Structures are given as C-alpha cells and as structure tokens.
Amino acid sequence: MSLKIIVLAKQVPDTRNVGKDAMKADGTVNRAALPAIFNPEDLNALEQALRLKDKHPGSTVTLLTMGPGRAAEIIREGLFRGADGGYLLTDRAFAGADTLATSYALSMAIRKIEKFDVIISGRQAIDGDTAQVGPQVAEKLGIPQITYAEEIQSITNGTIRVKRRLERGIEIVEGKLPMVVTVNSSAPECRPRNAKLLQKYKHARTVTEKQAEAVDYEDLYSIRPYLNLAEWSVTDVSANIEDCGLSGSPTKVKKIESVVFQAKESKTFDSSDVDIEELMVELINNHTIG
Amino acid sequence: MNNLFVYLELEGSQVEEVSLELLTKGRTLANRLNCQLEAVAIGSKLDEIGKQVFPFGVDKLHLFDDARLFPYTSLPHTSILVKLFEEEKPQIALMGATSIGRDLGPRVSSALHSGLTADCTSLEIGDHEEKKDNKNYTDLLYQIRPAFGGNIVATIINPDCRPQMATVREGVMKKEIFDANYKGETVKHEVAKYVSNTDFIVSVIERHVEQSKVNIKGAPIIVAGGYGMGSKENFQLLHDLANTIGAEVGASRAAVDAGFTDHDRQIGQTGVTVRPKLYIACGISGQIQHIAGMQESSMIISINNDPNAPINTVADYVITGEVETVIPKMIKYYKKNSK
C-alpha cells in the first residue's frame, strides 16, 4: 500500500550554540546572530517518513513548513534528502503566532494538500521546546495522535504501530490511520543529502526567491516544473485571518527579561594543588562532604 | 465554577509526584485567588486516590473510573477534560510537563481554544493592563518560563481565554502537605457520558516501565558536567569524583545533546530541577535554563576555564582551571584529608 506522508518541519535559530552576541543590550534575542537550521527532531521525523517510503513503494513525502521566505531552505534540504515536494506557508499575517495559531494555519494548509495517511513531525522545536504543535494540529484536523515516537514499526492495512520512548520506559501502541505522529530525538538520525538529488533540486526556488535573485533562465522552471516551490499565503489556504498570527493567539507575552541571577559573594581558587587542597579541607571540615 | 484544576497523573492507582507538587502550588494560588482547588483523576481502580490527595488541600476530587482509561491514551482523557472544563469553567488548569501532560495539554487547549504554556518554572498571580484596548485585567496567571533555548525568561498570560493552562516539570514546585486531616468532596462521574467508543482508536499493546537507575532528584551531592567536559571519555572523570565523595552525576543539556551522557541525567528546565546540599558544576557555562534547575542548591562550586562563565555568579566557590586538572586533584585531596 502506497502512503501519502506529510512532514511538518520548522526552521529554527540554533539555540544550542548561543554566543555572547546572541542577546541584544535590551535583553531581546538577536536572531540575526544565530544560524538558522532544520529543527533537529524534524529531521528525525523526516527519516521516519523516508523509511516508510522505502518500505511502501509509490509513497510520497511532502514537506510543510511555515516561516519567513528564507524557510524555503527547509524544503530544499528535505528534497536533497529524499522528499518529493513541499510547501512554504508564508505571510506577514502569520507573524507572532503562538502554538495554537500556528497549528490552525498548518491544519488549513494540510486540508489544502488534500488526502494524506500520516503526518509526521518532530516532537518539539528547539526555540520553544513546547511540543504543542503536533497534538494541536491533530486536534484541529480531528484525528488522533501518537507522540514521543522512537520508531514507526509498521503500517499494515491502515493500522500504524509505533514504539514510543517515554521518561520511564517504552510503549508499543497501535491506531488507525490517519494519524499524527511526533518523533523524539532518540529516533535514528536523518540520512544525509543524496548527491543526485542535490544536483536535481539545487535550483528549486519559490516565486519570491526567483524574483529576488532576478533569475533570467525562466525557461528552466517551465521545463522542470518540480523546481518550482509552492508558496502559500493566508488566502491560498483559505484561513480566517483573525485566527492567524497575534490575533489568533490566546497567549500573550507580557514581559521578556534576560535573567540576572542573584549574584553571590564567591570565593575563588585556581587549579594549583594548594588551592584545591584548601577547598577540599574546607568542605570536609564544614561537613558538606564526607 | 472559576476554580483551579489539577490533572492527576497516575501510575496504576498511585498519584505521581509531579501532580502532588502541582496540588501544593495549586493550593497556594487558590488561596490567593480565593477559589477552590479541584483535582481530576482519570484511570482505573481509583478508590485510594482521595487518601493520597486530600492532605494537599483538595476541595473537590473528580473521579473517572473505567478499566479502559489506564494506561493513558490521548483521546479519552482529552474528551473527559474538555467536557468537564466546559461544565465547570475553571479559571486555571495545571498538569505535569511529562509525556502525558505534554500530550494531553495541547490537545485540550486546542479543543477549548485556551492558551497553554509549557514547562513553566514559576507561576504567580498578577494584573495586566492592555494599553492598546484600554482594558485592565486582574488576577491573571503569570506563566513564567525560560524561552529560546533558555536564553531569556518570558512571562506569558492568557488575558481572554479560559482556562489558563500551564504545564510544570517534576521537581520544579515543592510538595508539601497542607493539612493531614483536610476533608474534600469526591464526585464519581459516569464515564460513558464523557467518552465515546471511537475515542479508543489508539491502544497500548505493550508497556515496559523501567525504574530509573539514576536518582539525581534525591541526591544530596551532585557532580554535573557540561559541554566544557569536551568528550564522553572525560565524563568518566565526573563518575570518579562522584564515586569518591558519594555523589550522583548530572549533566547540562549541551552535554546531553553532545552525546556525553544520557538524557535521564539532564538538569535544568528541560530536565530535572534539583536542590542538593552541594552542586559541583564542571565545564558548565550556565545557560539560564540550566541555572533555573539548580540555583536552589545549598552550596555551588563551579569549575570552569572561563573566569567569566555566567554560572560563576551563582557559585559559592569558583575554581578557574581545566576540569581535567582540577577533578583528579579534588579526588586526591579528598582521599588525603578525609578520615
């Protein structure tokens, strides 16, 4: 049985490698100083999708991402690794969306993509760590969810079997398609880029990108239509603008602070034998250790 | 109506620690708001739940007892909470930021179109003025959490939607008995009115619950390593020190992400919150999300080659040097001087 698989992916600032210039003087985040990457668990999700495609010939993997224009990089990256196509959901009206408004927008785009069997995404994105979008997309679409997946073990006659990795152990669960599955970082890493696919898709562009780059080989895109990356706005996915972005977000950010912890008077040592011995003796004498 | 609800996470007939911690916080917030604290238990064989939760000051306990409701699956628990919240209209709903709470919370919040904030490290009550609409809100739940990989702390509010929902990790709030003889009311609900058969579309085929081999939450001394440890091999140094002084080994998120050690040792907002007698931070720079999870340690030692590492500001003792040099010396001089 061939499957129609949608992978939800997000371009995120690499919050794991935050340098000193990542915070502006006013305590807000300097996004420009952080490299934009494919959210790590979304790559784990893509790999699960590609494995299903390997097992079920004729299946397709379609990426869906929401973000600014440059998030088209996520779709190209997916194509280089074996996805069949993708959509970029981009519109100023999506800005400031919390997880609920994001899920609404994604669910409207998914409805437009038409039929699907399984939607796979990373459990959470490293810039928010909320793990909310997967379940909320499922709820908006009125379909069930399996979160914390480590492995999609099989899909047989419309039944999906998944191994979940939880805080204290594992669970094997089964459910009927369609299903949303969110994947943990404990799942296998994503396969690397494929050289042939890189050659094939390196010129894949959205309309906006083509305009920005003033591409003068327009005929390339009519000869090879797969190089045209679809870009969707609020109107394209028939979303209600009130439910998108800030206005569709029940949560508001009241305050953002860069945190200053109560500084303590600290005693300093260096790594010399004298210093370390003095410290250890002090800790033993005041019964902190031993 | 307008009360504070806590979803009780259950393992069999046992209420999980994280839920008891939330009841303690919930009781304090309910007193501040002058409302009742209500708890919801969804599972199977729930006769013993009341005994476990009433001492935490629960005014009303809602029981949904049905063999099909344990182990947890998303849809039936969602259906129950959504219908119950539509009837009871809580102002606040809290749940654990566990694999259950983080599966259930988003689904419930989506169905009710209410805001949900994940992994809060602090919950407070406060007011809000919306200058744009000239509106004033009183007694909102301030949901405070580190954001952006722990580089900032955000205060989130849900001005217009109810319930105001938040998840909190185990260990973040402190569990405390409110009144050992507290008497609350128990309401047994008819499960069939809340769930339909189609909610049981996902079934648990197999389940292996492992007791964690690591107990960092309860350890009196923790030796924790960060990205600055440099390698998985160097992490062994931490185990050597921990074995010598009777400690448990913890890690920062960066060290876990780098594959130096396992996730169950992770300390911080996305791991465990700890309050040991002594915390030795080795090669940890001190992102907010890490400091948030260990700053209440009674004593903190930081070992770092960067004298300006942010963690040094919260440390009682700062050792400036290479971890590879310092740790073996600590072991040596501990052995030499302890009886």
Q: What is the CATH number of the domain that holds A138?
A: 3.40.50.620
Pair (B139, B277) in one structural domain: no
Chain A residue numbers with beta carbons less than 8 Å from the beta carbon of B157 are 251-252, 254
Give me the pLDDT at residue A10, please: 97
Give me the pLDDT at residue B272, please: 87
Token digits for B179?
A: 């009144």
User: How many structural domains does chain A have?
Assistant: 1
B99 within a domain of the structure (yes/no)? yes
Chain B residue numbers with beta carbons less than 8 Å from the beta carbon of A290 are 245, 334, 338-339
Q: Looking at residue B131, which CATH number applies to its domain?
A: 3.40.50.620
Mean pLDDT confidence for B69-80: 97
Q: Is A33 on the interface with B (CB under 8 A)?
A: no
Give me the pLDDT at residue A258, please: 73
Mean pLDDT confidence for A59-77: 97
A window 34-93, beta carbon within 8 A of B: none
User: How many structural domains does chain B have?
Assistant: 2
Is A261 in contact with B295 (Cβ distance < 8 A)? yes
Pair (B166, B132) in one structural domain: yes
Give me the pLDDT at residue A216, please: 67
User: Cα–Cα distance between B91 and B1 in angstroms, integer?
Assistant: 8
User: Cα–Cα distance between A159 and A176 in angstroms, integer?
Assistant: 5
Q: Is B209 on the interface with A (CB under 8 A)?
A: yes
Mean pLDDT confidence for A59-73: 96
pTM of the predicted structure, to 2 decimals: 0.88
B213 within a domain of the structure (yes/no)? no
Pair (B134, B29) in one structural domain: yes
Give me the pLDDT at residue A33, please: 74
Cβ–Cβ < 8 Å for B299, A288: yes
Cis omega before residue B71 (within 30°)?
yes
Q: CA of B32 to nearest chain A CA: how many angstroms apart?
A: 21
Residue B44 above 80 pLDDT? yes
User: Cα–Cα distance between B46 and B101 in angstroms, integer?
Assistant: 19
Residue A106 above 70 pLDDT? yes
pLDDT level of residue A259 (50, 70, 90 thresholds): low
Query: What ipTM was reported for this prediction?
Result: 0.90
Mean pLDDT confidence for B208-218: 81
pLDDT level of residue B68 (50, 70, 90 thresholds): very high
**% of chain B surpassing 90 pLDDT:** 83
B214 within a domain of the structure (yes/no)? no
A157 within a domain of the structure (yes/no)? yes
Domain that holds residue B312: 221-337
Cβ–Cβ < 8 Å for B6, B26: yes
A85 within a domain of the structure (yes/no)? yes
Pair (B196, B225) in one structural domain: no
A118 within a domain of the structure (yes/no)? yes
Is A258 in contact with B151 (Cβ distance < 8 A)? yes
User: Cα–Cα distance between A35 and A89 in angstroms, integer?
Assistant: 21
Domain that holds residue A159: 4-248
Pair (B54, B141) in one structural domain: yes
Mutate to test the interface with A, among B109, B280, B323 (most CBs of A within 10 A): B109
Average pLDDT, chain B: 94
Q: What is the DSSP letter of A32?
A: G
Pair (B194, B232) in one structural domain: no
Mean pLDDT confidence for A263-280: 90
Residue A169 above 60 pLDDT? yes
Of B116, B278, B291, the CB nearest to A132: B116
B286 within a domain of the structure (yes/no)? yes
Pair (B160, B280) in one structural domain: no
Q: Is B318 on the interface with A (CB under 8 A)?
A: yes
Question: With 0-12 CB in 10 A as exposed, 13-18 as middle and 19+ as buried, what is A78?
Answer: buried
Indicate the length of chain B as a whole number.
Answer: 339
SS3 A29: strand
Q: Is A157 on the interface with B (CB under 8 A)?
A: no
Termini Cα distance of chain A: 64
pLDDT level of residue B16 (50, 70, 90 thresholds): very high
Chain B residue numbers with beta carbons less than 8 Å from the beta carbon of A276 are 319, 326, 329-330, 333
Q: From residue B271, give the alpha-carbon distance in Å to each of A105, A185, A204, B91, B298.
A: 30, 14, 40, 28, 19
B13 within a domain of the structure (yes/no)? yes
Identity of residue B8: L
Of A130, A140, A175, the CB nearest to B118: A130
Pair (B133, B93) in one structural domain: yes
Q: Is A226 on the interface with B (CB under 8 A)?
A: no
Q: Is A252 on the interface with B (CB under 8 A)?
A: yes
Residue A20 above 80 pLDDT? no
Cβ–Cβ < 8 Å for B152, A259: yes
Indicate the length of chain A as a whole number.
Answer: 290
User: Cα–Cα distance between B105 and B98 in angstroms, integer?
Assistant: 10
Which chain B residue has its CA at the smallest distance from A102's CA? B110
Going through chain B in order, the beta strands assigned E by DSSP cover 4-8, 10-11, 14-15, 37-43, 60-65, 92-96, 116-120, 122-130, 135-147, 152-157, 164-168, 185-188, 202-209, 221-225, 248-251, 278-282, 299-304, 317-320
Which of B136, B169, B200 is where one domain is finished?
B200
**% of chain B surpassing 70 pLDDT:** 99
Which of B167, B200, B233 is where one domain is finished?
B200
B207 within a domain of the structure (yes/no)? no
Mean pLDDT confidence for A78-100: 96
